[in-house]
Amino acid sequence: GENVEQHPSTLSVQEGDSAVIKCTYSDSASNYFPWYKQELGKRPQLIIDIRSNVGEKKDQRIAVTLNKTAKHFSLHITETQPEDSAVYFCAVKKTSYDKVIFGPGTSLSVIP
């Protein structure tokens, strides 16, 4: 089945620095790549997503880049703030009707 790896598992940065989280996947048929943020005790929520026909997408301080050839995609957070502290999950999906498989998560701590 689909395998999604995510690195690093924990990440600590100083406020204002950038954070990068990378995911790799195994199924080349994957076409949709979302990122979810889960704050402590809360539900996961979508923060950004990218489709296979796009190489990069940006939304304010958050960006995602996709390399389909290498089968990896990354989340970039610039000018980190304490409220960015959370667990971030990458995920992959093939078609609208398919299951969404999540990576193991990255715990991000932003130190004030």
Partner 1 sequence: DSGVTQTPKHLITATGQRVTLRCSPRSGDLSVYWYQQSLDQGLQFLIQYYNGEERAKGNILERFSAQQFPDLHSELNLSSLELGDSALYFCASSVVTSGRITGELFFGEGSRLTVL
Out of 3, 28, 45, 81, which residue is the one contacting partner 1 (CB under 8 A)? 45
User: Least separation, in Å, of the C-beta of 23 and partner 1?
Assistant: 12
Report strand pairing: 10-14 vs 106-111.
parallel
Please answer whether residues 112 and 15 qualify as being in contact, where contact means their C-beta atoms are separated by less than 8 angstroms. yes
In sequence order, what are the beta bridge partners of 78?
none
d(CA 86, CA 98) in angstroms, rounded, equals 27
Which one of 19-27, 37-45, 56-64, 67-75 is the stretch in contact with partner 1 (CB under 8 A)? 37-45
Query: Interaction with partner 1 in 67-96: which residues (CB under 8 A)?
Result: 89, 93, 95-96
**16 or 104: whose CB is closer to partner 1?**
104
| Order of strands, sheet of 72-77, starting from the edge strand that comes earlier in the sequence | 4-7, 19-25, 72-77, 62-67, 56-59
Which residues are at the interface with partner 1 (CB under 8 A)?
31-32, 34, 36, 43-46, 49, 51, 89, 93, 95-105
